[in-house]
Structure formats: C-alpha cells, structure tokens
Amino acid sequence: MRDDTRRWIEADKKHCWHPFTPQDAWVAGEPLVLVRGQGAWLWDSEGRRYLDGNSSIWTNIHGHHHPALDAAITRQLDEVAHTSYLGFANPRASELAERLCALFPAGTLERVFFSDDGSTAIECAMKMAIQYRQQTGEPERTGFIAFDQAYHGDTMGAASLGGVSRFHERFRGHGVPVTFVSGMEALRQLPAEAVRGTAAVVIEPLIQGVNEMTPWPAGMLRELRAWCDAHGVHLILDEVMTGFGRTGKMFACQHEEVTPDFLCVAKGLTGGYMPMAATFTSAAVYDAFRGADERAFYYGHSYTANPLGCAVALASLDVFESEKTLHHLQPKIALMGELLAELEATHPRVRAVRQCGFVAGIEVEGVTGAAVCLAARQHGLLTRPIRNTIVLMPPLCTTEEELRLAVHALDLAARE
Ligand code: PMP
C-alpha cells in the first residue's frame, strides 16, 4: 500500500464518520480511496481502475472529468464562487432557471426554487405545500401521504415521508405526520377525513430506487394524478433519482405525460459535480405567495443558487444537447435489458432483475449483495447493494462495451 493511501485511511478511521455505515465494520475493512475519474471510470489511490457502476451515488450522469463540465466551473471561478441569493440575483441562476423551466410544457412548471440536495428539495416542496394551504384558506390540510418503502431523503421532514424501516422507523414520531399507503388501491380506500386533511401526496415516479429498484405498474402515475385532482390534493414528484435522463426521458413523469404540482430534482442536475437541487412548481402555487409581505416563502439556505452549481448545471444541459445523450442512450437501455435478461435466465444466483431505463436492480440469492459487490471490485466494477439487490446505474455516457464489461463483472462476482 502506498504511503499516501495508508495516511488517508488512517485519518479516515481515526476521525471520519460515514453515512449509513456500521463504523466498526468500516474500520475493520480496507476502504478504497477514490482519487481520479475519467468518463465512466474511477481510479483508487493504488492506481487500480474501476467502472463506476453506481454513477458515484446516482449522481454523475455524464461521467467524470467531463471537459465541458470542468470548464464551466473554472470559467465561473474566474467570476465569483459564491454570492448570496438572499437579496441578490446572479447571472447563472437566472439563466439556469430559464433553461430548466423550458424543459417542461409551457404554462406548467414555470417557477423554480433552488436548494442543496435531494432532501432539501423535498423539504422545500413540503413547506411550500403547507404554507400554500395556509394562504389559500385550507390551513387544515397539513398532512402528507407517502408510499410504503419510499425514500425521499434523510433530513427530518423528508425522512418522515420515508417508508424504509431500516432508515426511518427509529425516527418515526419525531417528524411530520404522514399516512402511508401501499399503492393506488389503498389510497382509494383512505377515509374521507384523512384525505380532507392532506396537503400533498409524494411519490418516486416509475420506480422506487432505495426500495431495491422496484418499478410501479404502468399507468399508475396517471391514475395518481387523476386521484389528486379529484380530491384537491397536490402531487409532489420526487425525481431526485430519475431526473435528467435516467429513465430514458429527461424526466420520469414524461413517460405518462403527467404534470405534478411540485417536482424535485438534485443529483443529476449538476451532472453530480456540485451539491444542488431544485423544486419546480406552477404559477398557481406561486401566486399564493404573492401580495402581502407575510406571504413570502419561509425557506432557504446559505448556498441557495450557488453560482458554481448553476454554471455546471447549465453546462450539463448543454451536454445533453451537444452529445445527444438521450438519443444515444436508447440502444444502451435495450442492451442493458438483453444482458440482464440473459443473466436472469442463466445465472444460478440471480433471482430477479428489475430495470427502468438505464437503471437496474439485480437480486441475488445464495450469496449476499455485499459479498457480490466486494467481489465485483476485483473484476473492476464499483457498485453498491441494497440488501440483496445489486444496483446497476452507470453514467449515461457509458459505452456499450463498458456496459458489457460491467454486466460481465457482476456475472463473475455473483458466481464466487
Ligand atoms: N429522493 C430520492 C428518490 C433519492 O434517491 C434520494 C437519495 N438517494 C433522495 C431523495 C435524497 O437525496 P440527497 O441524498 O441528495 O439528500
């Protein structure tokens, strides 16, 4: 082991604390120190190369060290790294808001509120939904409905909407009251009083990511939109994972031509380069916050609309256009389907495969997901398990050749 690597690992084990990580097991292990990236590849501090099968943490949609994204940040550094958005505008935020809102049908989501990560984008939608009701004569509508096994982030409000027991059960009762339903049938059976007290329903459209990559039935999103309209309930779409091309379209809601009242994005917004998020809403919602001073939206953070984040988000939108990212993605989605179908049909330890666009969950049996991911490293693939489901979520720029390598590495790893 190189001296640098040893030093970094020692300091990590002595002082760092990792998210969702049993620390004793971490300290007993030998962590990789990731030092460099290029395209779909990452290098560790020992010089070993890995395919980034998890797009870092579902974030780096255009891969790593992309010249256009890198340049956007250095260009912005020549101007200014950070300015306050409280009381000031900034050029990149203005340009980005205009570009982003133009991605939605005219007259739908035309207003954007920036924040820092997926969780704060969800918090923003929750607070907007509550304050909107206070300012439109329905203050009793304070509740939320979420789906079993949902994951919407880990700040207290967003975690209240979460239904994954491992993450959320221990904090239940400390956050916002939420009614959980398993699907449309259960939603329709909720008592009328519960629905009348509801501000919004929140869902991960098309697929629940942290719930081991479980897709919803086709057409469900449209049914949910109709139910919300019938009951005067707002619809919050959490596109933190699905936004920016992951499902094969720019946004998952486009598959069912559904417009939500709030749409939350993060991760892919900046190509994974900077922590930044956005919550979109309609003119109808925005209008409830106009008029008297007290109607101002009471939410915000120090790094709201950070110029570096905005600059690289703009560059990411340029990359979608210049590289025709979504066009080139379609055959790769089909190839992922073919490769995984073969794995499912022939691999002794692959129990099931679930895919939505360019993301898949490969459920293994007779071996733990963690063991497969550890073995996959030896075959040059980095990814993570969710229980016994291996996540395959490579950058959208991954080539067909690289995709074959990734699936082959998983195949070998799951046999060991
Ligand atoms: N919503 C979804 C659907 C997510 O997948 C995540 C993160 N995995 C979040 C929200 C929270 O995002 P963040 O970790 O950036 O706060």
CATH number at residue 196: 3.40.640.10
Residues with CB under 6 A from ligand 1: 58, 117-119, 122, 151-153, 204, 209-210, 238, 240-241, 266
pLDDT of residue 34: 98
| pTM beyond cutoff 0.90 | yes
Q: Return the HEC string of 338-385.
A: HHHHHHHHHCCCEEEEEEECCEEEEEECCCCHHHHHHHHHHCCEECCE
Does residue 297 belong to any structural domain of this protein?
yes
Residue 316 labeled ligand binder: no
Which CATH number does the domain housing residue 333 bear? 3.90.1150.10
| Ligand 1 atom at minimum distance from 57 CA | 8
**Residue 342 alpha carbon to ligand 1 centre in Å:** 31
Residue type at 214 in one-letter notation:
T
Beta bridge partners of 281: 111, 262
> Which residue is closest in CA terms to ligand 1's atom 10?
152
Work out the mean pLDDT of the chain and round it to a whole number.
Answer: 98
Of 303, 322, 341, which closes a domain? 322
pLDDT-based confidence at residue 121 (cuts at 50, 70, 90): very high
Nearest CA to ligand 1 atom 12: 118
> 53 falls in which pLDDT band (50, 70, 90)?
very high
Q: Is residue 11 part of a domain?
A: no
Q: Are residues 44 and 125 in the same domain?
A: no
Is residue 294 domain-resident?
Answer: yes
Q: 10 Å Cβ neighbour count for 278?
A: 26
Give the residue-averaged pLDDT of 49-61.
98
- pLDDT at res. 384: 96
* Residue 383 contacts residue 390 (beta carbons within 8 Å): yes
- pLDDT by residue (tens digit) across 147-173? 999 999 999 999 999 999 889 999 998
300 among annotated binding-site residues: yes
19 lies in some domain: no
pLDDT at site 322: 98
CA dist list (Å): 79 to 43, 61, 72, 92, 259: 31, 26, 11, 11, 36
| 118 labelled binding-site residue | yes
Q: What is the ipTM of this complex?
A: 0.99
Both 217 and 332 in one domain: the answer is no
Query: Residue 114 sits in which domain range?
Result: 70-322
Same-domain status, 227 and 363: no
Q: Which atom of ligand 1 is nearest to the CA of 118?
A: 12
**Model confidence band, residue 105 (pLDDT cutoffs 50, 70, 90):** very high
pLDDT digits (tens, 9 = 90+) for 384-416: 999 999 999 999 999 999 999 999 999 999 999
Amino acid at 289: F
pLDDT on residue 340 = 98
Residues 85 and 53 in one domain: no
Which pLDDT band holds residue 136 (cuts at 50, 70, 90)? very high
84 is in an annotated binding site: no
The residue-averaged pLDDT of 321-326 equals 98
Residues 145 and 76 reside in one and the same domain: yes
Q: Which of 117, 119, 166, 265 has most ligand 1 atoms within 8 Å of CB, for mutation?
A: 119
Are residues 250 and 283 both part of a single domain? Answer: yes
The domain tally of the chain equals 2
2 CA distance to ligand 1 middle (Å): 35
Rounded to 5 degrees, what angle do the CA atoms 236, 208, 152 make? 50
Residue nearest to atom 5 of ligand 1 (CA): 241
Same domain, residue pair 189 and 328? no
Distance 118 CA to ligand 1 centre (A): 5
The verdict on 267 and 308 lying in the same domain is yes
Let me know whether 77 and 53 are in one domain. no
- One domain for residues 172 and 290: yes
Tell me if 303 sits within 8 A of 86, measured CB to CB: no
Ligand 1 nearest atom to the CA of residue 239, by list position: 3
Euclidean distance between CA atoms 391 and 44, whole angstroms? 20
For residues 191 and 149, state if they share a domain: yes
Ligand 1 atom having least distance to the Cα of 208? 3
Domain boundary among 270, 291, 322: 322
Domain end among 295, 322, 349: 322
Cα of 85 vs centre of ligand 1, distance in Å, is 24
Q: What percentage of residues in the chain have a pLDDT greater than 90? A: 98
**Domain annotation covers residue 359:** yes
Cα first-last separation, the chain: 25
In a domain, 247, yes or no: yes
If you measure from the C-alpha of residue 120 to the centroid of ligand 1, how many angstroms do you get, rounded to a whole number? 9
Structure tokens at 273: 């380069």
- Whether residues 361 and 403 share a domain: the answer is yes
Distance, in Å, from the CA atom of 374 to the CA atom of 383, rounded to the nearest integer, reads 9
Does 349 count as an annotated binding residue? no
**pLDDT band of 85, cuts 50, 70, 90:** very high
Residue 4 lies in a domain: no
Q: What distance in angstroms lies between residue 199's CA and the mean position of ligand 1's atoms?
A: 21
Expressed in angstroms and rounded, the spacing between residue 79 Cα and the centre of ligand 1 is 31
DSSP 223: H
Residue 24 lies in a domain: no
